[in-house]
Amino acid sequence: MSPSPLLDVRELVVRYGDFTAVDRVSFTLDAGETLALNGPSGCGKSSIALAIPQLRRPHSGEVLFEGRDLTELSERELRPLRPRMQLVFQDPYGSLSPRHRIRDAVAEPLKVQGRWNSADGPLRVAALLERVGLDPSYGDRLPHELSGGQCQRAGIARALASEPRLLILDEPVSALDPSVRAGVLNLLADLQDDLGLGYLFICHDPAVVRHFAHRVLEMRDGRLSAP
Amino acid sequence: MRVPVAGVTRAVCLCAVVGAVGLLPWLSGRDPALTVLRARSAEQEPTRQALDAIRGALGLDAGPLALLGSWLRGLLRGDLGTSWVSGHEVLPSVGAGLQVSLALMGAALGVTVLLAAVLLAPVLACGRGAAGAGAAMLAAVPEFLLATVALLVCGVWLGLLPTSGWEGPRNMVLPALALGIPAGGLLGRLVADALPAALDERWAELWRGAGVGRARIAAAGLKRVLPPLVPQFGMVVVGLTGGAVAVETVFAVPGIGRTALGAAKSQDLPMLQGAVLALLLLGLVTGALAALVRRRPLGPALRDAGLSLPPPRPVRVHPAVPLSLAAVLLTAVGWGLLRDPYAVNTVARLAAPSWEHPLGTDGLGRDMLARLGYGAAATVGTAAAVCLLSLLVGLALGFLPGVAAGAADIANALPPVIVGILVAAVSGPGVGGAALTVALISWPPLAAHAAALVQEVRASAHLTAQRGIGATPLWILTRHVLPSVAAPVGRHALLRLPGIALAMASLGFLGLGAQPPAPEWGLLLDESRAYVERAPWAALSPALALTLLAALAVSAGAVRGAGNATRGKAHAHGKEGSSHGEDPPREGSPRRCLT
Per-residue pLDDT tens digits for B405-439 = 667 766 766 777 888 888 887 777 788 888 888 88
**Interface mutation vs chain A, best among B469, B478, B480, B582, most A CBs within 10 Å:** B469
Q: Of the given ranges (A131-145, B66-80, B200-214), which has the lowest mean pLDDT?
A: B66-80
**Cβ within 8 Å, pair A98-B580:** yes
Q: How confident is the model at residue B399 (pLDDT cuts 50, 70, 90)?
A: confident
Answer yes or no: do A98 and B461 touch at CB < 8 A.
Answer: no
- In this structure, of B48-62, B330-344, B422-436, the range with the lowest mean pLDDT score is B48-62
* CATH number for domain B320-579, candidates 1.10.510.10, 3.40.50.261, 3.40.50.740, 1.10.3720.10: 1.10.3720.10
A209 or B126, greater pLDDT: A209
Q: What pLDDT was estimated at residue B565?
A: 34
Query: Assign residue B504 a region: left if phi > 0, alpha if psi is -120 to 50, beta otherwise?
Result: alpha
Instruction: State the best of B463, B464, B582 to mutate against chain A, taking most chain A CBs within 10 Å.
Output: B464
Categorize the per-residue pLDDT at B170 as very low, low, confident or very high, splitting at 50, 70 and 90.
confident
CA distance B228 to B237: 16
Question: What is the structure's pLDDT at B551?
Answer: 82
Q: Where is pLDDT greater, at B438 or B130?
A: B438
**Which pLDDT score is estimated for B453?**
83
Residue B38 CA to residue B543 CA, distance in Å, equals 36
Residue B578 has what pLDDT? Answer: 32
CB burial readout B413-436, b (16+ within 10 A) else e: bbbbbbbbbbbbbbbebbbebbbb
Least confident interval from A118-132, B46-60, B161-175: B46-60
Predicted pLDDT at A134: 92
pLDDT number for residue B277:
83
- Which stretches of chain A score pLDDT less than 70? 1-3, 226-227
* Coil, helix or strand at residue A159: helix
Are B336 and B373 within 8 A, CB to CB? yes
pLDDT at B442: 83
Q: What is the CATH number of domain B90-302?
A: 1.10.3720.10
Instruction: For residue range B214-272, list pLDDT tens digits in order.
Output: 888 888 888 888 777 777 777 787 778 888 888 888 888 888 888 888 888 777 778 88
Q: Which of A84 and B579 is assigned the larger pLDDT?
A: A84
Query: What is the percent of chain B where pLDDT is above 90?
Result: 1
- Helix%, strand%, coil% for chain A, nearest 5: 40, 25, 35
B464: chain A residues, CB-CB within 8 Å: 50, 55, 87, 89
Q: Shortest CB distance from A87 goes to which of B465, B484, B580?
A: B465
* Average pLDDT over every residue of B537-551: 82
**Ramachandran assignment for B17, one of left (phi > 0), alpha (psi -120 to 50 degrees), beta (any other):** alpha
Q: What is the pLDDT of residue B559?
A: 64
CA gap B508, B442 in Å, rounded: 17
What's the pLDDT score for residue B504? 86
CA-wise closest residue to A81 among A105, A104, A118, A52: A52
Task: Check if A163 contacts B (Cβ < 8 Å).
Answer: no
Chain B hits for A91, CB-CB cut-off 8 Å, are 461, 576
pTM of the model: 0.72
Residues 461-500 on B with a CB inside 8 Å of A are 461-462, 464-472, 475, 479-480, 483-484
Would an 8 Å CB–CB cutoff place A99 in contact with chain B? yes
Q: Which amino acid is at B501?
A: A
CB pairs under 8 A between A and B: 72
pLDDT at A102: 93
The residue-averaged pLDDT of B517-539 equals 79
pLDDT band, very low/low/confident/very high, at B156 (cuts 50, 70, 90): confident
Query: Are A99 and B484 within 8 A, CB to CB?
Result: yes
Query: Taking 50 as the threshold, does the pLDDT of residue B590 lie above it?
Result: no
Q: Do A143 and B577 touch (CB under 8 A)?
A: yes
Distance from A205 to chain B by nearest Cα, in Å?
22
Choose the weakest-confidence range: A63-77, A188-202, B110-124, B344-358: B344-358
Q: What is the mean pLDDT of residues B300-308?
A: 51
Q: What is the pLDDT of residue B60?
A: 66
The rounded percent of chain B whose pLDDT value lies above 70 is 80
